[in-house]
Amino acid sequence: MPNPWLELSTWPFQRTASYKLLLTELGLVDADKPYVEVRDDCARQHRSPAVELRLDGPGGRTLWPLLTFTQGALILACLPLVEAPPEPRPPLPSLASVSQGLALLSGLQDFLCGPGGKPEPDVLASRLAALPSVLLQVCPLGRPLDTPPPAGSVPAAVAPSPGGAQKQPAWKAGVHRGRVVVSVALTEKVRSMQYGKSSQQDIWDVYGMVMCKCEVEGVLPNVSVTLTLPPNGSPLQDILVHPCVTSLDASILTACSVDENDCSAFSGPYKFPFSPPLELFRLCSYTSQVPMPPILGSYQLKAEENHLKANVVLKLHESVKNSFEYYEAHIPFFNQNLMGSVEVKVSSGQLEVSKEKSLLVWVLGQKFPKSREAALEGTVHFSGTVAGPTDPLCTGLTAYIKLYFRVADAVFRYCRVDQHSVQVYSSAKPRIVTTRELVSSEYYIWNSTGDAPVSLKI
Amino acid sequence: MTIADLWDQRISAFLLSLSQFLATTSTESFLAELLHELRNDKTNDQLKTLLVSVLLEHPTILCPSASVGEETALELLSVFSHTPQKSIVLKCNVMLAITNVIICTSCLNTHTKTAEDWLDLLFQMIQDINDYRCGLSQQPIRATACDCLREMETCSPGLLSQKLEALYLLKQQETTVLHQSYCLLYTLGLKNAIRILTNQKDVTDLEFKSILGGNEGFAWKSNQLELTSLPINMLVQVPRLTQGLDCKELKSIMSLLLEESYLLMPISQSALLRELVEVVAMVPGLSRTLFKSQLLRLFGTADVSLMHATLFMKDTFTDSLFTTEDENFLLKRLVGMAQHPLLRITEKLFYMECILHFPENRPISSSGEESLPVLVTPRLAAFLHPTVFNDSATMLCRLNLLCLVHLEANEGEADKGIGFLFDHIMALLKIVDNDGSREVVVTSLRALFIFLMHFSGMEELSEKLIDKLCDMYSRHSRLAPNLIGLADRIQEHPRPVWSVKLLRGLQKRIMEMPPLQLTIHNLSWHLKVLKRVAKEGQITQRNTIYLLLNVLINSNLCERGNWQVGNAVLAVYRNLLDHPSIDQVFIELADLLQYISIQYDDTDIKDHARIYYTLLTNLSWEKLTGVLAKRLDGGRAKERSHSAIMAESEEIASNLTVHKTHVLQLIKAQEKAAQSSSDSVEATGEVRNWLEVYQGQLQTPGFGSEVTLRYNLTHAKETDPLFDKVFTICLHFEPKDSNYAKVTDIHVPCVFRDRKSPEVKVKLKPFQPRMFTTQDGRSWHSRLPDVSVSFPEIFLPLPLPPNSSRECREQVFERIWEATASGNSDKSAISLFCFKPEDKSLADLIKTHFQGYLITDQQSERSWKVLLFLPPKCHILLKITQAEDAAQVSIATDNRELLPFVNSYLQNITDN
């Protein structure tokens, strides 16, 4: 198995019994065996971020708490130091090293995989080769001081900073020289589960993040970004900020998605004063409850003799800009034979049958019609003899449509960030670039004539 | 191979298996070679870094004693000083290695000269603040020096306690990114110094002040702290300084540190905060409100280690720093973070753990066990409701939390909540029923287990679950091991009755199955379930016995004689014998056992059935259960032997199945394998018609009918030490084809790994399974690797008395040749094979392959005669002559079916 095991030490872990146990634990070996007692015992609770490996079988020595991150073929793991008697086992939150381990592993994952999350094999190999020296720097003698810099984040035009009058932050290797540019990008993602039933409530929410890249001179320059809401806009909740944010107003943090009685009148402006690091970073993130989803849909699928009859209507909310970068509705069919003839009409856009013959792709293109409504209607025959993809969830008439869209230069909730909302306290006149976009994420419309899996919350 | 490659190999070998590596070389010599290579100027930095890494990782193995440690540290010091300035990475590595060696070999604790020198050197290095002297390029060295000092202070707390003023000044003056390292070093020293002071009674203001103003040597004798250097949240009581000390100076130091904490990396910042929290906790004169200014920033942080440090602060200071509103807010924040779409799954899992162990201002219990804070209401927890879209860990974690919430909730609210959870479980089971993947099956049963742990007392719901599980089982019998596991685990807990109900339900379903569904494959699952059911005294077993009777009599199972199925059936019986209601089904059970012992077409199964039958019919139930009540982990060898005959427990049954790994193997014996086992005919000096004599021999029954192949029975290369001594081995062979008569079993008393392997005389294709016993008395059943017998292995020389003359051999040859060549017999045949002898001469070829079978060897005439005897009565005769450009082999045989073999054999040996 090509698992480039991250060795925090040069210890050849992959040949050890612990490594094999870990792979068993993660279900990466004997995946074809339906039941392996040490792995599949129902009393073994896999609900903690820390894995326990029993080195000598039940009752024997254990390796705990092993933290693991898995991304593709990459397994990252570390064993935090337990500064306590092993028995009785201390609760995980009582160990300082656990969160440090989690932070270190997150950092290593970003360092190895980069922003895309899927590095090319040769890129990954070169990053793996650089790992020992990176670890020497961020984790000398096994004690994490820092997280490795994310891959590909080497900032240009940086001068090393010799000791000056002002103390240099440890998270900023040097100072920027050159033109002052501040880029602020606001991305909002919208999730939804629409059932089209009175018995089941539709749910949706929005979460957003502000990414910043600041090329500003000085050791600790001051920048601030302010997010504003329109009148009656619903407040930003669960705000999480980057450690470089210098101070926060208490009112900013009060709105919390889990607080149903939240009647705090605060609806901005949300001001984030900070001193930026050199690399691209996530200044803040939030969630939000919006009154309506940007696209309301209904999906009706009925079985008739030897075919399925489908009826889909999608409506764009009036507050969303009718200009999409892309907009597609995917209509998959599971646990059926492959599609035969498809007699489906769409009121707007085009319909494509996927190569695999198990998916209809409705490409709505850049715009909804003026009515802000699009419909699809027709029948699908499954005449083939070859079985299509299976899914244990979507049996019978349990089926869904998944929407994929992106609207550039718009955010659904009108959370505003523009040139005026960015302040840079600098002698040079800064260039300020702001972008905003709305992207779908986990946007499902379930067939209202079938059973849909219950989800109280996304 | 370059030197670097050689070292690479050696170090890999060292890291891979220490014991193997040290079998070939000693640590001293390896260490000496390492250090020698490090001193070599021609070795490049990369290789040296690799070499140092071994010392860095395994200092205690390479330096087993303090004196070796000291010598090594000295050597490394000299390497360090001779390493050129530009080799920064190597220098940093050497520094870390020296520190590690000094700490791990207790050079530090015993205050050796080297440790002292090294400390002085490190302290000297960190004096170069802002890189005035050595320049920016040397900054990493300084950073490493700080790290090394911090490590030494950690391992010998108080070491820096008399140098705090100096460290403080350095920290203040340092303005580069290394400010962080100085900050951490100072804070750790400060915390340890105060911790040591808390051990002292009646601390005066002067003593207290002298800590902060210390600018002396290293404090070598402060090791008493070692045992109590646990973080304060691990201590029953936080050590405290005396009240009323003047803390003004310390307070301003602390404020400054907190203010500048913002400049540190988040992980280091969290470490710093933890140290400061400990200081404030130990010094009554310092106000907790010192942290107030940082709280908002920390509450809002997206960084997991900073949030964790905040919780540590909450745990330490409770209501002296956090109001009820703060507490409420923090908890909501945690719930929000535990489901935040932009955090990583592991972080969210961690936050859920934090909710379960939330440090409340007024905790109800302090057991440290998972107990939900009272502030987590069903309303709040509803946001963490599990869904089928969650990943496994998140789903299970949420389910566990919700179960705890509803367990505590008041009735009306709880019923609704439990209803939701139940629906969720049913939704999961539906996915399993729709052929969910292995992971879905396992996760769903885990969810079910969590649910039952909390709510198995709710009759209606648990009945529904049993119905659902039984339904699922009748469709997917592969779920048997999962369901048995579930029953076992639930039974270990306070309400075991659910398990009995489930098992009774499963038994009923199996009974109701149409016979067609009891196919061989599914049968093994059903037998597993029935075996488990038979363990339950509360479940009547009559139906099980009828079912087995039905299956055995009305199917061809007995004729098929499958060992595994037979064993699985017997496993059910074994548990039945132990069942308290056995007297109600005594006759049926006895009938069945007798039936198997007669009808089942497998000796082993028959034997077992017979033993069970004998036990059943001869012993009272009390005695029977006494005999059966074996403990596998009991320890006494006798009991274990017993268990091997008696108990088909899960473990034994699995041990008895055919293993994939080979324990033993047959290796061909060194000496010439082929020889006739027949008695030789006494030679007489008389001139006789040798052919007649020879043919006379062939008429003797049993003559020449065997080929004895000699093998050594040895251990396969890598086997468990359990098999080092193997006893009572029965080798059972079954020829693959019908060419050979059945070979009788061979019994070998024992095979020991460390002794000479016994020789086994085997006749032809050994193939089939074999039984043996290990030292602990258990019987094993394993498979030998195939031993194939090649065509030339069954060649024998002409079976005439050893001293019979060449003439008589020639005579027999010629006569047989004539007889076969005459074509009188319809079985005989002649043939010709030509080839071109290439590299080797023809004579060599003949010598190699036909030495033992030569009748005449007339090298001068370039002609040879060869006779191959094949038991029982076949001959192959070869006349080999060397023509001008080719060799001719005339072949005559009295069994024409052998010709193709002869041909391919000749082809084989003459091909280069």
B389 contacts A34? CB cut-off 8 A: no
DSSP secondary structure letter of residue A294: S
ipTM of the complex: 0.93
Domain containing A404: what range? 295-409
Cα B136 from Cα B442, distance rounded (Å): 57
Residue A454 lies in a domain: no
The reply to whether B764 touches chain A by the CB within 8 Å rule is: no
Q: What is the least distance, in Å, from the CA of A348 to any CA of chain B?
A: 32
A246 contacts B265? CB cut-off 8 A: no
- What secondary structure does DSSP assign to B802-817, as a single string? TT--HHHHHHHHHHHH
Of all residues in chain A, the one with the smallest CA distance to B376 is: A258
> Best mutation site among A104, A258, A260 for testing chain B: the one with the most B CBs within 10 Å?
A258
Q: How many CB atoms lie within 10 A of CB A246?
A: 16
- Confidence band for A136, pLDDT divided at 50, 70 and 90: confident
Q: What is the least distance, in Å, from the CA of B432 to any CA of chain A?
A: 7
A386 against B225, higher pLDDT: A386
Query: B855 — phi, psi (to 5°)?
Result: -100, -55
Q: What pLDDT is recorded for position A344?
A: 93
Residue A129 lies in a domain: yes
B441 contacts A34? CB cut-off 8 A: yes
Q: What pLDDT is recorded for position B765?
A: 41
B300 contacts A239? CB cut-off 8 A: yes
Q: A301 and A245 in one domain? A: no
- Confidence band for A325, pLDDT divided at 50, 70 and 90: very high
Name A17's Cβ contacts closer than 8 Å, sequence gap at least 6: A55
Cα B447 from Cα B469, distance rounded (Å): 13
Cα B775 from Cα B546, distance rounded (Å): 39
- Confidence band for A412, pLDDT divided at 50, 70 and 90: low
Query: A78 — phi, psi (to 5°)?
Result: -150, 155
Q: A287 and A186 in one domain? A: yes
B266 contacts A147? CB cut-off 8 A: yes
Q: How many CB atoms lie within 10 A of CB A275?
A: 20
CA A361 remoteness from chain centre? 24
Contacts of B420 in chain A (CB under 8 A): 456
| Closest CB from A102, A189, A256 relative to B332 | A256
Split into its structural domains, chain A has a count of 3
Q: A118 and A89 in one domain? A: yes
Q: What pLDDT is recorded for position B911?
A: 73
Contacts of B326 in chain A (CB under 8 A): none
Of all residues in chain A, the one with the smallest CA distance to B136 is: A162
Whether pTM > 0.90 for this model: the answer is no
Q: What pLDDT is recorded for position B771?
A: 46
Of all residues in chain B, the one with the smallest CA distance to A94 is: B233
Cα A117 from Cα A126, distance rounded (Å): 15
The reply to whether B159 touches chain A by the CB within 8 Å rule is: no
Of residues B530, B444, B433, B527, the one with CA closest to residue B482: B444
| Closest CB from B151, B180, B388 relative to A170 | B180
Name A195's Cβ contacts closer than 8 Å, sequence gap at least 6: A201, A202, A446, A448, A452
The reply to whether B651 touches chain A by the CB within 8 Å rule is: no
Q: Which CATH number fits domain B664-669+705-789: 1.10.3470, 2.40.160, 2.60.40, 3.40.50?
A: 2.60.40
Assess whether pLDDT exceeds 50 at residue A390: yes
Q: A318 and A285 in one domain? A: no
Q: What pLDDT is recorded for position B688?
A: 54
How many interchain CB pairs under 8 A, A with B? 330
Q: Which residues of chain B have pLDDT under 50?
A: 227, 631-661, 671-687, 765-771, 773, 777
The domain limits of chain B are 25-156, 157-220+234-286, 540-647, 664-669+705-789, 792-911
Query: B390 — phi, psi (to 5°)?
Result: -65, 155
B302 contacts A41? CB cut-off 8 A: no
Contacts of B382 in chain A (CB under 8 A): 456-457
Average pLDDT over residues A222-237: 87
Contacts of A133 in chain B (CB under 8 A): 89
Task: Write the single-letter amino acid at B899.
Answer: L
Q: A240 and A103 in one domain? A: no
Q: Degrees (nearest 5) of the Cα angle B891, B895, B900?
A: 60
Q: What is the least distance, in Å, from the CA of A69 to any CA of chain B?
A: 8
Average pLDDT over residues A218-242: 89
Q: A17 and A138 in one domain? A: yes
3-state SS of B828-858?
CEEEEEEECCCCCCHHHHHHHHHHHHEEEEE
B268 contacts A146? CB cut-off 8 A: yes
Of all residues in chain A, the one with the smallest CA distance to B97 is: A141
Assess whether pLDDT exceeds 80 at residue A370: yes
> Best mutation site among A13, A35, A42, A204 for testing chain B: the one with the most B CBs within 10 Å?
A42
Q: What pLDDT is recorded for position B231?
A: 82
- Confidence band for A458, pLDDT divided at 50, 70 and 90: very low
Contacts of A37 in chain B (CB under 8 A): 481, 485
Of all residues in chain B, the one with the smallest CA distance to A281 is: B302
A270-299 per-position pLDDT tens digit:
999 999 999 899 999 999 888 889 999 999
Contacts of A453 in chain B (CB under 8 A): 387-389, 427
Q: How many CB atoms lie within 10 A of CB B763?
A: 21
Q: A416 and A358 in one domain? A: no
Please report the residues numbered 56 through 75 in chain B whose beta carbons come closer than 8 angstroms to any beta carbon of chain A: 57
The reply to whether B357 touches chain A by the CB within 8 Å rule is: yes
Contacts of A39 in chain B (CB under 8 A): 442
Q: CATH number of the domain that A276 lies in? A: 2.60.40.1170
If one looks up domain B25-156 in CATH, what number appears? 1.20.870
- β-pairing, A270-274 vs A222-227, is antiparallel
Q: Are A301 and A447 in contact, with CB atoms under 8 Å apart?
A: yes
Contacts of A49 in chain B (CB under 8 A): 346-347, 349-350, 353, 393
Q: A420 and A283 in one domain? A: yes
Residue A339 lies in a domain: yes
Alpha carbon separation from B384 to A258, B326, B561 (Å, rounded): 9, 21, 55
Q: What is the least distance, in Å, from the CA of A281 to any CA of chain B?
A: 12
Contacts of B403 in chain A (CB under 8 A): none
> Best mutation site among B270, B375, B442 for testing chain A: the one with the most A CBs within 10 Å?
B442
What six digits make up the tokens of B489?
């685990």
| Closest CB from A42, A240, A390 relative to B300 | A240
Q: What is the least distance, in Å, from the CA of A429 to any CA of chain B?
A: 26
B131 contacts A141? CB cut-off 8 A: no
B53 contacts A10? CB cut-off 8 A: yes
Q: Are A283 and A210 in contact, with CB atoms under 8 Å apart?
A: yes
Please report the residues numbered 393 through 452 in chain B whose beta carbons come closer than 8 angstroms to any beta carbon of chain A: 393-394, 396-397, 399-400, 420, 423-424, 427, 431-432, 434-443, 445-446, 448-450
Q: What pLDDT is recorded for position B272?
A: 97
Q: A246 and A203 in one domain? A: yes
Name the CATH superfamily for B792-911.
TATA-Binding Protein (3.30.310.10)
Q: How many CB atoms lie within 10 A of CB B655?
A: 15
Please report the residues numbered 467 through 506 in chain B whose beta carbons come closer than 8 angstroms to any beta carbon of chain A: 478, 481-482, 485-486, 489, 492
Query: B867 — phi, psi (to 5°)?
Result: -125, 125
Assess whether pLDDT exceeds 60 at residue A12: no
Q: A187 and A69 in one domain? A: no
Q: Coil, strand, or helix at residue B736?
A: coil
Q: What is the least distance, in Å, from the CA of B162 to any CA of chain A?
A: 24
**Residues facing residue B863 across a β-bridge:** B858, B881
Q: A420 and A288 in one domain? A: yes
Peptide bond connecting A273 to the previous residue in cis, omega within 30 degrees of 0: no
Average pLDDT over residues A109-120: 83
CA B15, B21, B22, B25 torsion-angle sign: negative
- Confidence band for A221, pLDDT divided at 50, 70 and 90: very high
Q: A436 and A373 in one domain? A: no
B130 contacts A143? CB cut-off 8 A: no
Let me know if the fold of B25-156 is the same as that of B792-911.
Answer: no
